[in-house]
Amino acid sequence: MKDCCALNKGPLTDEEITHYSRLFSCVAEPARLRILSEIAGCGCDPVTVNELAERIGLSQPTISHHLKKLTEC
């Protein structure tokens, strides 16, 4: 049973905990998760901020704000 789990490297380090905590906090915002979902759903096709705003139902400045926050994560 030793090989049953790919996460068998041991507990997370303090550095990893800090990293994942910031990442999860960033995507815990529903609008940001919607944005990521829309972008992922486009595959390799480009998508503009205005297209995201229309699809998600948020204003362009709001989408831009959340995209900025996502790039800071």
How far is the C-alpha of 48 from the C-alpha of 30, rounded, in Å? Answer: 19
Half-sphere exposure of 60 toward its Cβ, with a 13 Å CA cutoff?
A: 5
Q: Which two tokens stand for residue 21?
A: 């905590």
* pLDDT band at residue 2 using 50, 70 and 90 as cut-offs: low
CB 35 within 8 A of CB 70: yes
Q: At what angle do helices 14-27 and 30-41 cross, to 10 degrees?
A: 90
pLDDT tens per residue across span 20-39: 999 999 999 999 999 999 99
